[in-house]
Structure 1
Amino acid sequence: MLGSAAPVLAQSSKVPEGTKLAADQTFTYWLQDDLKTLDPDLSTSKDGNDVLQQMFEGLYQQDDHGNLVPALAKSYEVSDDKKTYTFHLRDEKWSNGDPVTAQDFVYAWRRLADPATASQYSWYIELMQVKNAHDVIAGDKKPSELGVKALDDHTLQVTLDSAIPYFRQMLVLSSTFPVPQKVVEKYGSDWTKPENMVVNGPYKLKSWKIGDSIELVKNDAYYDAANVTLTDLKFIPIQDNDQALTRYEAGELDFVQTPAGQYPRLKDEYPDAAHAPPRSCVYAYRFNVGPNGPEALKDVKVRKALSYAINRDIIVDKILKGGQKPAYTWTHWATANFKAPDVAYADMTQQERMDKAKELLKEAGYGPDHPLNLRIMYNTSADHKKIAIAVQQFWKQIGVKSTLENYEWKVYLDKLNGQHDFDVARTAWCADYNEASTYLDVNTSWSDQNSGQWSNSEYDKLMKDSKTAEDPQEDYTKAEKILAEDMPLAPIYAYSLPMLLNPQIKGYPFDNVQLNWYAKNMYKVAK
């Protein structure tokens, strides 16, 4: 059987000369939760993006270090005012043999912005500053008025309201990928079923068994199929991290995130498989200050008290133990060009923070005779539960009673972003691109991801001004200070990704802080 892999080895430019490949080129990847959708215009999760970027290609991708590299965009020009981009597309086909055209991008972007699509990521097209996006999303202009058009089959023109220096970096996210108009219009919401789905990336959908697995196979119609070595990708959703680890150790998974607290032991046991690279995500507890939230959380003194009482060092050093860092700002420390501001509570000792928390709660009118009761909501995960239990104990020390509410991923998302039905919710944000605005824009009043419905006019103005600033870092610093002062959420830790990766799998981009990985660049060596 090894002989059958030889032609792949001979053809692939990704595999070093002389490498002996495994006969079975399957990569089996752990997902924390099953996906809600495989539609690029509707996807909202990091796991969803990981799957979709194997099936679709947009204008750009990232290399192993997070640098921008062309995908469908073989070249581009930009106008002198930096507001008009003209992209020249290379020849590529959909998996059904149809050509991929500039119109497929136009259709996908209009569909993303169209209120009729009801995408929870429509706001992203507005963050990209695409002309008229705000009015299209609001329903005040037609999708056809969005600032994107096909000059011909291979030429896409995008016009922006404001020039932003990181515009092309934003085109890596799956929300900006093309979708096949004919197929979507023919099948509607069923277009992502295996028997209907058409893609333009290196892998196509073989099967999707809800709660069990998503299987992709090599797409022979992909333009660079000769250089794709892995032939099969399997994504297995397992909510219990300990169970996922057991299945990794049994050889059923090639990748798993290590359960909280176990990375040091696993590093000793599996030194060639254990890694903990920085990952551009931040974990936080968001406070619901909207109409559905408790009255107590509308008081900034209460929000600050709750944040101060969380012992981030215990969470990072005693519970997680996987290279994470305590977070006192919302933006991840490794974000390009980001300089964290001086945040007063970050410099306190934990005892000082606890004393201040008790003082603030008392000033807000809460104490033994008037206790504060809150619900902590999180999605199913042993790690989330451990953190919630710890926070429950930290808050108990300042006289706050809390109950834990655990929901499956889809229900949790609906309560978080749909119904806004929570008091305090576990949340996290992973960078869509490597720039601080990917974090800070989430908290604007117009963001679909601002699940706590916090609103601050000064913050909104800073983020609007940052879009046209020659150097937006000053605006970002001020915005982070507002978050620390108004505390709409409590940052808890900056991610790493403590993981076990089968040592036979090569080509994983450990040096990419967003950890955007592309299976087409990976391969499996023989034992």
Structure 2
Amino acid sequence: MKNWKRRWALFLTAVLLALSLTGCGGSGEGLALSVCVGGAPEELDPIYATETADQTVLVHLYENLMRKTGDGSGGTTVTNGAAKSVSTEENADGTVTWTFKLRKAEWSDGRAVRAGDFVFAWQRLADPANDSPSASLLSVVAGYDAVRETGDVSLLQVTSEDDSTLVVVLNGKFDWFLTEVCTAPATMPLRQDLLQEETTAADGETAEAAEEPAEAAPWWNDLTGLVTNGPYQVSGYEAGEALTLEASETYRNSLSGPQTLTFRFAETAEAGQDLYDAGEVDFLGILPAEQLTDLIEAESRTLAPELSVQAVVFNCGQDTLMDARVRRALTLTADRSAAAEAAGAAAYA
């Protein structure tokens, strides 16, 4: 068991940036893994979750069109998730149509995963009334600007031809759409019927309760009752202490992760280290500054910096970027000399 945990801990370290704690080759049947990636969940509504700890939980409960996994060599790769196949077509007006054929899959309550679940989730994300901090992810989707101006989410060009076919029209050619937008927690599918039930229940409060206004509990508040389509389901929750996930019986694929995955909560890196020292967790997502210093100074261990590529999406009209002065200003925001110096000669190998 110790060898299994060591293998999984090494894998976790390699793919934490991709948020997923599953995807390593081999069967994890019977394996229980305990990790600490941060504090108790602050937000498990995909369109509002911004903390890494919350997003890490979400990618184990829900499956997007595509998913990021470890590539076996310490990096990450993007593979098909809910999408069985993807095709693109460039249109005469410069737009690009992406067509996703979905796998046969089920939600944890047994209902089929449908293309309409993605349409609902993406419209909800784009809706200005919801004020999602991640809404700009969809700025490359045709109709997004119109939705933001009018509030009419039907203008977003994301449609379902049938239950297994999702069609998305983009304003142009964006290769990163598949790897960044279609893997993001914010664009994961959601069940409109279940969220409507929560809203109806909240609206049905008694008059006495209405006289004492209180902040309504979020729709995901009952964690053990969540209906999800990912590799795990919530099996237990200790408020402020731990969240336990079990392999989903309805997940469409064979699980390549631990059977039981427990997230133990720590509000500080030092508290997480205490959990690790006490043997309560097998992996830490964040190390205390003192611990990092010790690792760097230790003769037997070294920390090597890794290069990565980040993208920044500017939500502005195309006319703005037609101005050469604006484009020049944007290029000046990056200090290329400093980046090259920090990267060193290894970056050119």
Cα distance, 1:480 vs structure 2: 4.7
* 1:32 corresponds to: 38
Whole-angstrom CA distance in 2 between matches of 1:145 and 1:481: 36
* 2:13 corresponds to: none
* 1:190 corresponds to: 219
Matches within 5 A, 1:490-501: none
Matches within 5 A, 1:146-185: 146-170=156-180, 171-185=182-196
Matched, 1:201 2:52: no
Q: State the AA in 1 paired with 2:123.
A: R
Cα distance, 1:464 vs structure 2: 6.2
Whole-angstrom CA distance in 1 between matches of 2:79 and 2:131: 31
Contact 2:39 2:268 in 1 (8 A): no
Cα distance, 1:211 vs structure 2: 2.7
Whole-angstrom CA distance in 2 between matches of 1:245 and 1:62: 27
Which consecutive residues of structure 2, in runs of 5 or more, have no partner in the other structure?
2-22, 200-217, 343-349
What secondary structure sits across from 1:262 in the alignment? Answer: helix
* 2:250 corresponds to: 221
Contact 1:462 1:479 in 2 (8 A): no
Cα distance, 1:334 vs structure 2: 2.2
Matched, 1:52 2:58: yes
Return closer, same or farther for 1:112/1:461 CA change in 2, 3 Å cut-off: closer
Whole-angstrom CA distance in 2 between matches of 1:463 and 1:255: 48
Matches within 5 A, 1:80-119: 80-81=90-91, 83-119=96-132
What secondary structure sits across from 2:76 in the alignment? Answer: coil
Cα distance, 1:252 vs structure 2: 0.7
Identity of aligned residues (%): 26
Return closer, same or farther for 1:202/1:268 CA change in 2, 3 Å cut-off: farther
Whole-angstrom CA distance in 1 between matches of 2:60 and 2:108: 13
* 1:436 corresponds to: 311
Return closer, same or farther for 1:276/1:94 CA change in 2, 3 Å cut-off: farther
Matched, 1:133 2:132: no
Q: State the AA in 1 paired with 2:187.
A: T
Whole-angstrom CA distance in 2 between matches of 1:168 and 1:146: 18
* 2:273 corresponds to: 245
TM-score in terms of structure 2 length: 0.72
Return closer, same or farther for 1:214/1:113 CA change in 2, 3 Å cut-off: same
Contact 1:41 1:175 in 2 (8 A): yes
* 1:62 corresponds to: 68
Q: Which stretch shows the higher mean deviation, 183-192 or 156-165?
A: 183-192
Cα distance, 1:79 vs structure 2: 0.9
Return closer, same or farther for 1:109/1:278 CA change in 2, 3 Å cut-off: farther
Contact 2:296 2:303 in 1 (8 A): no
Structure 1 runs (4+) deviating above 6 angstroms are: 267-271, 461-464
* 1:334 corresponds to: 308
Q: In the TM superposition, what whole-angstrom CA distance separates every residue of 1:148-191 from its partner, at most 9, and x where no partner exists?
A: 00000100000112321211112111111101222111124324
What secondary structure sits across from 1:162 in the alignment? Answer: coil
* 2:17 corresponds to: none
Whole-angstrom CA distance in 1 between matches of 2:25 and 2:298: 30
Q: State the AA in 1 paired with 2:148.
A: I
Q: Max radius of gyration: which structure?
A: 1
Return closer, same or farther for 1:246/1:149 CA change in 2, 3 Å cut-off: same
Matches within 5 A, 1:290-301: none
Matches within 5 A, 1:291-440: 334-335=308-309, 435-437=310-312
Cα distance, 1:92 vs structure 2: 0.4
Cα distance, 1:89 vs structure 2: 0.6
Contact 1:202 1:228 in 2 (8 A): no
Contact 1:29 1:254 in 2 (8 A): yes
State the aligned residue count: 288
Whole-angstrom CA distance in 2 between matches of 1:68 and 1:166: 11
Return closer, same or farther for 1:275/1:200 CA change in 2, 3 Å cut-off: farther
Q: State the AA in 2 paired with 1:237.
A: F
Return closer, same or farther for 1:87/1:192 CA change in 2, 3 Å cut-off: farther
Whole-angstrom CA distance in 1 between matches of 2:171 and 2:98: 12
Whole-angstrom CA distance in 1 between matches of 2:154 and 2:262: 38
Cα distance, 1:77 vs structure 2: 1.5
Whole-angstrom CA distance in 2 between matches of 1:235 and 1:13: 18
Return closer, same or farther for 1:89/1:194 CA change in 2, 3 Å cut-off: same
Contact 2:224 2:237 in 1 (8 A): no
Cα distance, 1:27 vs structure 2: 1.8
Q: State the AA in 2 paired with 1:25.
A: L
* 1:479 corresponds to: 330
What secondary structure sits across from 1:33 in the alignment? Answer: coil
Q: In the TM superposition, what whole-angstrom CA distance separates every residue of 1:256-299 from its partner, at most 9, and x where no partner exists?
A: 2321132353478897xx785657xxxxxxxxxxxxxxxxxxxx
Whole-angstrom CA distance in 1 between matches of 2:266 and 2:334: 34
* 2:241 corresponds to: 212
Cα distance, 1:69 vs structure 2: 0.9
Cα distance, 1:31 vs structure 2: 2.7
Return closer, same or farther for 1:462/1:33 CA change in 2, 3 Å cut-off: farther
Contact 1:132 1:141 in 2 (8 A): no
Contact 1:111 1:143 in 2 (8 A): yes
Which consecutive residues of structure 1, in runs of 5 or more, have no partner in the other structure?
2-11, 280-332, 336-434, 447-459, 467-473, 485-490, 495-527
Q: State the AA in 1 paired with 2:143.
A: N
Whole-angstrom CA distance in 2 between matches of 1:463 and 1:29: 47
Whole-angstrom CA distance in 1 between matches of 2:151 and 2:268: 46
Contact 1:201 1:222 in 2 (8 A): yes
Return closer, same or farther for 1:116/1:208 CA change in 2, 3 Å cut-off: farther
* 1:262 corresponds to: 291
